[in-house]
Amino acid sequence: MFSIQQKLILQLLFTSLIGITSYIGDRLLQQKSEILRAVSDNFTHATVSGLTWSLILIISKKSVLKNISKVFLCFFIASFVDVDHFLIAISWRLQDAMHLQKRGFLHCSTIPIMTWLFLLIYSKMLNQPNISDYGWIILSSFLSHHIRDANRRGLWFCPFGSTRPIPYYFYLSLSMAFPYFIEFCMSLLDTQQLSEKRIYNTPYVI
């Protein structure tokens, strides 16, 4: 059981971990080995995504340990996004996947946004809050990956186009602020689910 102060310390810790993990992952991109670069980059995407969902759970006073399967789901979805490099290259060779001229469809932010919207509407129609949970998980894990890639290539909203690459420290700040934004949107849109999960006077349990 944790007090409000301890919850704030955990929020600060996980927010910092998102920034530190991203920063270390970006430094590792400077190494010479292409395989190590690809593996560390993918692991960084996955870890940042897992930390993002953990922080969303902490902010919304949900137990991280009880929801650890969803944290790992975010970890694997963010890692999976880079599979499109291989699909576009029509090859499982890392060399081919790393030297593409165009971006893969899983890097288009319109796709997770539309999926999230569909699942949210579907869950409201069927009165199944669990389905919307998966919508938020998909949105968080894809967008945390896209925000990190946006430092190099911008955010891509197909078919409308892309933004310019996001400046480095703005991207780091955006990654750390992102879980707070998602939790805020969840509290606005998922009122039914939140009324079940948020009991304001109960201590926080990790």
Give residues in contact with Zn ion (CB under 5 A): 82, 149
Could you give the maximum distance between any two Cα atoms of the chain, in Å?
54
- Report in angstroms how near the CB of residue 41 gets to Zn ion at its nearest: 8
Question: Would you say 141 or 193 has its CB closer to Zn ion?
Answer: 141
- Report in angstroms how near the CB of residue 169 gets to Zn ion at its nearest: 20
- Report in angstroms how near the CB of residue 82 gets to Zn ion at its nearest: 5
Question: Would you say 25 or 135 has its CB closer to Zn ion?
Answer: 25
List own/partner pairs for 23-29 with CB under 8 A and 24 or more apart.
23/172, 25/148, 26/151, 26/168
- Report in angstroms how near the CB of residue 103 gets to Zn ion at its nearest: 8
Residue with nearest beta carbon to Zn ion: 149
Question: Would you say 94 or 120 has its CB closer to Zn ion?
Answer: 94
Question: Would you say 149 or 183 has its CB closer to Zn ion?
Answer: 149
